[in-house]
Structure formats: C-alpha cells, structure tokens
Amino acid sequence: MPDAADILRLESLQVHFPIQAGLFARVLGRPAGAVRAVDGIDLNVGRGEIVALVGESGSGKTTVGRVITKLAQPTGGKLLFEGHDMTSVQGTSALRPYRRRVQMIFQDAYQSLNPRHTVFDIVAEPLRSLRLVENGKQLVERVGQALASAGLNPPGDFFSRFPHELSGGQRQRVVIAGALAVKPELIVADEPVSMLDVSIRAQILQVLVDLRDKHNMALLFITHDLPLAWLIADRIAVLYLGKLVEIGSADEITFNPRHPYTVALRNATPQIGANAGRGELPALQGEVPSATRVPNGCRFHPRCPLAFDRCRQEEPPIEVGPKHLAACWLAN
C-alpha cells in the first residue's frame, strides 16, 4: 500500500514550446504562438505508490515524464522531489544524486539499447557513470542482482548477449534492469509494454508490481491504455491536451468516471465493460487537437457530446470530492 508521504509533487507544471513566427506573420505583426504541451498540472506520487498517467498521443503525458526525469525543462510551475525544489537544478554533477533516485523506462526497448553493447555493459553503464560501485566484483554483483530482479535468470547467461540475440520481452527486461541497477526510488515508465505481446505484457507488469512491493519503489506509469492502467495502478490521472481532467483511485476512474473524456476512453475498451455510469455516451471521434490551438473554455468541448454554452466560455476547475476530481461542469 502507498505510504502517505509524497515522493514527487508537480505544482502548476507547465511546458510551452515557443513557435518561431513565419515571415508573413512577422510582417503583419502577429505574435508568435506556443505549443502548450503541458499547461498547468498538479500531481503527487506517494512513496511506494503506482500512479498511471493516461491519455491519447498528443495529450502531453510523455513530456510530463521527461520533465520529471530532467530530460526536459519546464517553462512554469514546480517539480518537487521529497519536498526539495528540483525545477531549476541542471548540470551533470548537480543532477547526479537525483538521477540515481529517479529513473526512466522508455517504450521502445530496441531503440533504447545500444546494439553494440552486451547486456552486462548496458546494465553496468548507469552504475559506472553515477559512480555507484567501487570495484569490478561489486559491479558484477549489482548487474546480476538487477537482471535477476527484472526476471532474467540465471543472470550470468545474459551477460555476454547482445540486444539482437534477445526476444522483445527480454529486451524490455534488460531496460528495466538498467533502471533498477541504481536502486531508484521512483521510476517513470513511458508505455513500457505497448510494443510487447499480450502474454509478455502481464509478466513485465508483474515485475514492476513486485518491485514496488519489495522495495517500496514509486512508479509513474504512462500509458494510453485505460485497462492496463487499472490493472497496475493505485490511482489514475487522465490527461487531455496538456491538462489533467480527472484523478482518483483506479477503480473509481475506471468504473465510475465523471469526465466525458474518461467515459469515452473507457467505452473504447470493451474488456472492462462499457455500461457503467455514463456508458451511453457515443465513442470518441477524431484525435486530440494540436496543442498550438487550445480551445477557450473547456478544452474538451469540440469533441464533447454533452457540451453546452458555458463549456465554450469558461474552463471548469478540477474538483468533485477529496478522492475523485474531475474538470467538467457536469461532474457532480
């Protein structure tokens, strides 16, 4: 069960990418725009808690993960780790302690593994670069432990293999082992199983849950797949066009969604049943609009079958109750 203390807190986090104005726009004096990839989100993750961040592509969820792992810099708001403000901390040596404690697992294991390096070197690399081992014996021990924790047994059998000699599931386990080797307290996993077969997915999810149970490690699980989020997470946060539109326990969000967008996501996945709550809503049409053209009012209104005048004029705050929040005028 999650510890009450937050390990991570995002406060009004914002990532806007400026757009260079074209010659025509400059001549007409039109202001340059911005891609509002993340547009003011508040989110906390407790120690030992699994939080799923769910949204379609273009919702900004990967950008949130990149900010947390310091691969992208926010343009506003705060990133707090154990209460310490990490927002503007930059530079290799200043970030070294943080990088040991916060690791990221990427979606495409094949892309994130160097094809010329053996499994041993891949998993040993963060231990070497963060200077976490004193000698070769310790290095072998730590690499072996990480591979075993990721379910690659016996670990020694994998030391000298190259990524192309592994199955898709084994490659993703190597990626997980690389993150685990430094014994992080928070892992950000960006679509870690979306490229794997269904049977392998369950095994990888189990590895992540076991890590939380054994080491009280927190996990931010980024996915477009609501049923997957429900399977693994304690809480689910739903992101739409750079804003959180609903947050609550995994059961509440999945079986009692209050926001029409979450209902539409749920309805698109028949395996968790489409007829609880507002199951009568039509399926979601089209894709998330460009983050350069965020609509006024409720940003979901162009796709919302329930939209009415107020939705086009005023943006609803995210609220309902202490344990279930939704940004919709009809949420109550």
Q: Give the footprint of ligand SF4 on this chain (CB under 6 A).
A: 259-260, 298, 300-301, 304, 306-307, 311, 316, 328-330
Q: Which is nearer to ligand SF4, 244 or 328 (CB)?
A: 328
* H-assigned helices in 130-279: 136-149, 168-180, 198-215, 226-232, 250-255, 260-267
Tell me the closest approach of the beta carbon of residue 260 to ligand SF4, in angstroms.
5
User: Which two three-digit tokens encode residue 47?
Assistant: 């120690």
Let me know: does 46 contact 212? Beta carbons within 8 Å: no
Let me know: does 184 contact 212? Beta carbons within 8 Å: no
Tell me the closest approach of the beta carbon of residue 151 to ligand SF4, in angstroms.
41
Q: Which is nearer to ligand SF4, 187 or 328 (CB)?
A: 328
Q: How far apart are CA 268 and CA 127, in angstroms?
A: 42
Q: Which is nearer to ligand SF4, 60 or 260 (CB)?
A: 260
116, 120, 124, 126 alpha-carbon torsion, rounded to 10°: 50
> How distant, in Å, are the alpha carbons of 16, 127, 150, 174, 257 from that of 118?
38, 15, 16, 10, 46
Tell me the closest approach of the beta carbon of residue 245 to ligand SF4, in angstroms.
7
Q: Which is nearer to ligand SF4, 7 or 304 (CB)?
A: 304
CA angle 189, 231, 221 (to 5 degrees): 15
Q: Which is nearer to ligand SF4, 52 or 298 (CB)?
A: 298
Tell me the closest approach of the beta carbon of residue 298 to ligand SF4, in angstroms.
3
Tell me the closest approach of the beta carbon of residue 301 to ligand SF4, in angstroms.
4
